[in-house]
Structure 1
Amino acid sequence: MNVLTIVSHPRKDSLTSKVALEFIKGLEDAGHKVELFDLYQEEFDPLVREKDEPDWKSEKNIYSSVVHKEMERMNRNDALAFVFPVWWYNIPAMLKGYIDRVWNYNYAYGNSKLPHEKALWIGLAGGSKAHFAKRKYDKMIEHYLNIGLADYTGIPHSKVEILYDTLSEKALDPVQFGDFQKELLTKGYQLGTEFSRWE
């Protein structure tokens, strides 16, 4: 399976980026082909300008060359994976802008749907699992990504994995950080190796 892996974090040395690399390693070890798209490193512009605003009266919209390039990138792959920090109980603005701009009318919704079999959303959250569950933030995020985005655009299989506690005491303690980071990286690798085992 060809998996487009989209990473959204401004720092290349971030925990998010490290988890993404381990996830990719797991995918490749499981026999998948990976195309990496780092939104920040490639300086993707997330702002929707007039050229990329759909004309609802038109059956066929011609968007900017950047958007058509990203549609072609998506079309080269069978599945999608996203690795990102959870900010304000949501995906980062950069990733939201990418979706707003590229998952456009009559490509991802309207008279056409996305061709991908599955999407995996890997979010790194500063809070604890109990904190997210208490206010149902976890369910809110899952519903938005699995139903509001994936299901709406025709992706039949979508899954959300949140890696918690990235701002916990053990994560911020230099003595404990090594073991904590190893735990998250191992989970990232595991998600890659198990990518084809869930529906």
Structure 2
Amino acid sequence: MLALVVVAHPCGDSLTHALAERAEAGLRTAGYAVALLDLYALGFRAAMSEAERTSYHEDQPILDPMVAEHANLIKQATVVVFVYPTWWSGLPAILKGWLERVIVPGVGFHFDERTGKVKPGLGHVRRLVGISTYGSPRSAVRLINDNGRRTISRALRLSCGVRTRTQWLGLYSVDNSTKSERQDFAASVERTMASL
């Protein structure tokens, strides 16, 4: 069983990276093989090129070898975990770009040629997990709809099977949190991943 962990933070010494390490440790404890994609460290290009947009509805929508590698990984994964800070009430641009460039026709979904309807392409994914930090308190995050969470647990979930479960782990008011609170949250991330 493969778990794919996608990390989106530019600083390697960030809390986000520490949480990704704890998530990976928990997943390995649960018996998963883990593929970790550190988007910034990999130099992933967020912006879709004109050529990619033009080829989007063609037989081969993926033109970049790195994107093809990432698409291959998500096609194998039964668990996909996103670890990122919530910025401007949403996903970091690099993660949004990853979704736009990787979850393309033939990967995330297919068009039924007879009806023209969209059919999920990630039916093998059994669990989507989001792990995010927020500068705002939970009440403020709810007020502005937590767009990153909605993108992953609603929009991306539509590309998965009807039995795909979503799970969310959020550390709110991170800027005012204590070291002990951050450590407790990291430990809960590892425990939660170990129980999948």
TM-score, normalised to structure 2's length? 0.84
Judge conservation of contact 2:84–2:91 (CA < 8 Å) in 1.
yes
> Whole-Å Cα distance in 1 between the matches of residues 76 and 156 of structure 2?
20
> Whole-Å Cα distance in 1 between the matches of residues 179 and 27 of structure 2?
24
Runs of 5+ consecutive residues of structure 2 not aligned to the other structure: 112-119
Please state if 1:162 is matched with 2:170: yes
SS in 1 for 2:47: coil
Gap change, CA 1:54 and 1:70, over 3 Å in 2: farther
Please state if 1:132 is matched with 2:131: no
- Structure 1 residue corresponding to 2:152, chosen from 137, 145, 154: 145
Runs of 5+ consecutive residues of structure 1 not aligned to the other structure: 172-176
Aligned length: 184
What percent identity do the matched residue pairs reach?
22
SS in 2 for 1:41: helix
Please state if 1:122 is matched with 2:131: yes
Counterpart position of 2:15? 15
Please state if 1:45 is matched with 2:45: yes
Gap change, CA 1:144 and 1:62, over 3 Å in 2: closer
Letter in 2 for 1:185: A
Judge conservation of contact 2:133–2:174 (CA < 8 Å) in 1.
yes
Judge conservation of contact 2:75–2:107 (CA < 8 Å) in 1.
no
Q: Deviations over 1:20-44 (max 9, x none)?
A: 1111111111222211110011111
Gap change, CA 1:141 and 1:11, over 3 Å in 2: closer
- Detail structure 1 runs of 4+ shifted over 4 Å in the superposition: 54-57
> Whole-Å Cα distance in 2 between the matches of residues 148 and 178 of structure 1?
34
Please state if 1:184 is matched with 2:185: yes
SS in 2 for 1:31: coil
Judge conservation of contact 1:4–1:34 (CA < 8 Å) in 2.
yes
> Whole-Å Cα distance in 2 between the matches of residues 73 and 120 of structure 1?
16
Q: Could you say which structure has the higher strand fraction?
A: 2
Deviates more, 1:156-165 or 1:84-93: 156-165
Q: Deviations over 1:42-92 (max 9, x none)?
A: 11111101232254664x224213322221122232221100001111111
> Whole-Å Cα distance in 1 between the matches of residues 26 and 57 of structure 2?
44
RMSD: 2.0
Q: Deviations over 1:78-111 (max 9, x none)?
A: 2211000011111110100000011112321233
